[in-house]
Each structure stands twice: as C-alpha cells, then as structure tokens.
Amino acid sequence: MELRRITDRVFYTMFSKESDRPTLGYINGEKRSLMVDAGNSKNHLESFNDAVNNEGFRKPGIIAITHWHWDHTFGMHAADGVTIAHQKTNAKLAEMAMWEWTDSEMKKRLAEKVEIEFADTCIRNEYPLLSEIRVVTSDLSFSGFMEIDLGGITAQLHHVASPHSEDSVCVLVPQERVLFIGDAVGLDYYNNCYLDKDKLRSLLTTIEGFDFDTCVVGHAEPVSKQKIVEVMHSLLER
C-alpha cells in the first residue's frame, strides 16, 4: 500500500476489490493529522499506518468515519487515535457489535436478509478467522456538522442526504479544495439496490454547493468536481 498525493497536505490509498477495501484518506495538518475511514480490518488499518510512516508522516490522531458499512469501520478497534462518527453510524455499529461472527450466524443473517451476499463474501475474504472481527462504536459522535482544526487546515464533517446510507458523512478540506464522500453517491445495497432519486438530488445540491476541485470516492480513483456532478446527473437520468 502507498500514499498517493492529491495536494501537499492531502493523500489517499487505493481501494482493493478482492475484499472490498475502500479508499482511505490522510489529511496532514501542522498540529495533527486525520484519517478518513478506518478500513475493513486491523490489517487494512495497519497497512495504511505503514504507508503513512514510509512517507515520514505522523500516525493519524483522529479517524473520521463516512458511514457504518463494514468495509469503512471494522478497523476502528485497532486505531490508536480518536475515532469520530455520526450518531446514526454509532447506532448501527452498536447493533452490529452485538452480532456473533460465526459461520452459522453469518449464514443466518444472509437468510434473514439482514446481511447481503456481497458483504458476506468480502468479509470472509478479509477474515479467514471470523473470530478476529471486532465491531466498536466511535470515541466521539456528532450530529449535523463538525469542524476539526488540524493546524493550518481544517476538516469539515458534513452529514448529508444520500441514497447509499442514512448516516453518510462528507469530509471537506476547504483550504486544499478536496472533498471525501465515501460511498455517498451509490445505491442502497441493503434495500435491493434501490436508488432514492430525491436523496440523490439533495446530495447533488449539497455537493454542488461545496467549493472543491478533487472528489475522493470510496471505491474508485479520485475525480474532479465536474465529473462527480456528471455521474450524479447520469444516475438521475437512468
């Protein structure tokens, strides 16, 4: 894994399809640094920290979560820094923390449509030993909006309407003109891949209102503001 540069102070790591590892972000302030999403396992998070160390940067002291899905949160328990998530994210994580992670219980959740097949497959790819799965809630939570001073730059956490998940959070770094959106522009895979176009329109309006040049998405290469807006218009026209 390597850190890829967007600006002198904002970086990202590549997504991986095999076990659905998402793109992770790194924002390097003068006083502290912030990681966007915690990865899907301890191994994923540690690989990220190794990439940060290889660049001579400090390990992130803050980890901000974009939404509750396993691939963005299952590394939280291994984070050394303070984790921050939306209240709705924590509500779902608290529920999942009660689940048993055994073959039989996972199959039961599939049968009851609590879990989806794609996530089940990827979890098993990431965790040969299911007993290593640990789900935790964040150290801090917020509702609506939160701004974090990193020293010289800020990270703004915005709770947004999203067709993908009710708890979706975008992380804007206004000084660097970079926006992390996680999977906010996406279908609701836990609702038969439904696309709520009203929520997508609301998200489009919100994203158009942000002042940024580069958009970092959860499972693809970063794109321009123009491109992500085009993608959203295309989805609305489907």
Could you tell me the residue ranges of all domains in the chain?
A: 4-236
pLDDT of residue 193: 87
pLDDT of residue 230: 96
Model confidence, pTM: 0.95
Q: Which residues of the chain have pLDDT under 50?
A: none
pLDDT of residue 70: 96
pLDDT of residue 13: 96
pLDDT of residue 96: 96
pLDDT of residue 177: 98
CA distance 50 to 60: 11
> Which architecture does CATH list for 4-236?
4-Layer Sandwich (3.60)
pLDDT of residue 238: 81
pLDDT of residue 30: 97
Query: What are 33's strand-pairing partners?
Result: 28
pLDDT of residue 17: 85
CA distance 54 to 51: 5
Long-range contacts of 11-18 (CB under 8 A, 24+ apart): 11/55, 12/216, 12/222, 13/48, 13/51, 15/218, 15/219, 15/220, 17/219, 18/122, 18/125
Burial status of residue 152 (CB atoms within 10 A of its CB: 0-12, 13-18, 19 or more): exposed
pLDDT of residue 210: 97
Q: With beta carbons less than 8 A apart as the criterion, state whether 205 and 215 touch.
A: no
